[in-house]
Structure 1
């Protein structure tokens, strides 16, 4: 069982290199890799994944067929235009890697073992390995967004609308989504964060936090993330992982460890 690897740093590239070295036995077997950044909107970091995090990963996967992809928020405008203009597009061009719009690659209904069904992109399942690159932030609906919530970018537009309007429980949906499709490796950027909301356009306040995290357990990563956010937000002090509704569901479903060991990397 891997711990949560944690480093107080602002050097994303060096941390990613260390992660790749630590998980090389996993990575070296993969002939194809799908990378899922956070491209929720047109806003740059820390709303979305920092270009350095993606670039550092791409330069260390030269022998794999790599595709980067996401489905931006349904209220963020044209997904094609957004992806074309986002800073991560330049990184993908530099490395000759496609940046794909998941909305255009077909959606399927999948159900968890509890019979909870969501319509989502199954495109990542075509790859040997899936790596997620979330940003740790506060979220005005979900409390926090990080490892678990980054999977939201796989969902069909109408699924997201149903969740944000209360037709479907968004918190349970996030947990069930992770039960259906889980990344193989997650590298979470918490060098900077947003407090109060997940995007600047929604009222998020940019704040330095100063950490990078990595691991294979999204529940463990988000549980550590809750503790880290308390360092810069007094309102988060005393908050436990199970106080975050989607984390509570994920813990109940046995999707990970809310009390992980941490290790310096």
Structure 2
């Protein structure tokens, strides 16, 4: 989606989640997914309902659109941070949905040691480096769908960049070292979050902002209802717009303070060239009258 130095972020403001998703996805060349094996990361950190977790209709609509484009195998990969992953996915009906729609589910906590790829410490804030699943490194295409919410445990906000934490091994099989314990006590937590994203590509990110948490999170919080569906291939651009939406609706001091591109997650990801490096490189593309009315306010917040 980056063209002439710009990264596009598509917005649809719609009372109907499914039509909103179809509206933003039509601007992506889904034909490029034809015959390709897709690794899909959603947001199933806990068993709590949307906006804590990916809405079932969002996952269903996304997989339906990908399937109609002629993709090969679609594999949902997940590690929950708050609860047993298999139990979380069972509670939210994801295994049942996978049987109905024909996609695979990989519970990352149950993967063997050789299913993980070591990312060395070099140039990161991770003390021992970290491990990501081999399946995401080997996939032809990578798709992510995230929620839009604040984060009470040091992340400040959890959008597409933070969603990548659910890919990192908590403990490598046969080892006692806890990478998530390291992450959550580190003063560099938000930079570490950004660094994960430097080691795998994303071809498409769908953000469900029909409802959001403007404080609290990631499992429970104060809800606002922007009624938005967003999509981009640039995680930095998308998260910057997500933060602007949080600010528009009134959010926490940690998320509201300073320029958006100086917030640690976004600053570090931009520094690593995960995505664009300034708000001037974002092209907001509203797809209906309601999102057109919102766009100037978001642009002002982004550049403030």
Q: In structure 1, what is the equivalent of residue 296 of structure 2?
A: none
1:143 aligns with 2:147: no
8 Å contact kept, 2:194–2:268: yes
CA distance in 2, matches of 1:208, 1:190: 8
Q: Which residue in 2 is equivalent to 1:208?
A: 225
Cα deviation, residue 261, structure 1: 1.1
Residue in structure 2 matching 1:58, options 53, 58, 63: 63
1:232-247 correspondence runs (5 A): 232-233=249-250, 235=252, 237=256, 239-247=258-266
Q: State the TM-score, normalizing by the size of structure 2.
A: 0.78
Which residue does the alignment assign to 1:160? 180
**Pair 1:127 & 2:139 matched:** yes
Give the drift of 1:243: 4.0
Secondary structure of 1:31's match? Answer: coil
* Structure label with greater radius of gyration: 2
* Count of paired positions: 260
Partner of 2:47: 42
Cα shift at 1:19? 3.5
CA contact (8 A) 2:39 2:141 kept: yes
What is the alpha-carbon distance in structure 1 between the residues aligned to residue 15 and residue 41 of structure 2?
A: 21
Paired with 1:42 and 1:25, the residues of 2 have a C-alpha distance of: 30
Distance 2:159 2:241 in 1: 10
Query: What secondary structure sits across from 1:120 in the alignment?
Result: strand
Equivalence for 1:109 = 118
Q: After the TM superposition, which parts of structure 1 deviate over 6 Å for at least 4 consecutive aligned residues?
A: none
More divergent stretch after superposition (124-133 vs 55-64): 55-64
Structure 1 residue 112, shift from structure 2 partner: 7.5
CA RMSD of aligned residues (A): 2.2
Q: 1:30 touches 1:129 (CA, 8 Å); kept in 2? A: no
TM-score normalised by structure 1 residue count = 0.89
* 1:194 alignment counterpart: 213
Shift of 1:160: 1.4
> What is the deviation of 1:80?
1.9
The gaps in structure 1 that reach 5 residues or longer are none
Q: Give me the whole-angstrom Cα distance separating, in 1, the residues matched to 2:91 and 2:30.
A: 35
Query: Deviation per CA, 1:162-190, whole angstroms, max 9, x where unpaired?
Result: 10122x73212111111111321100111
Moved more, 61-70 or 34-43: 61-70
Following the alignment from structure 1 to structure 2, what is the Cα–Cα distance between the partners of residues 239 and 190? 23
Alpha-carbon shift at residue 147 of structure 1 (Å): 1.2
Match of 2:76 among 65, 68, 81: 68
Matched with 2:286 is: 264
- When structure 1 is superposed on structure 2, of 4-13 and 127-136 the one drifting more is 4-13
Q: Distance in 2 between matches of 1:5 and 1:112?
A: 35
1:16-35 equivalences in 2 (<5 Å): 16-25=21-30, 27-35=32-40
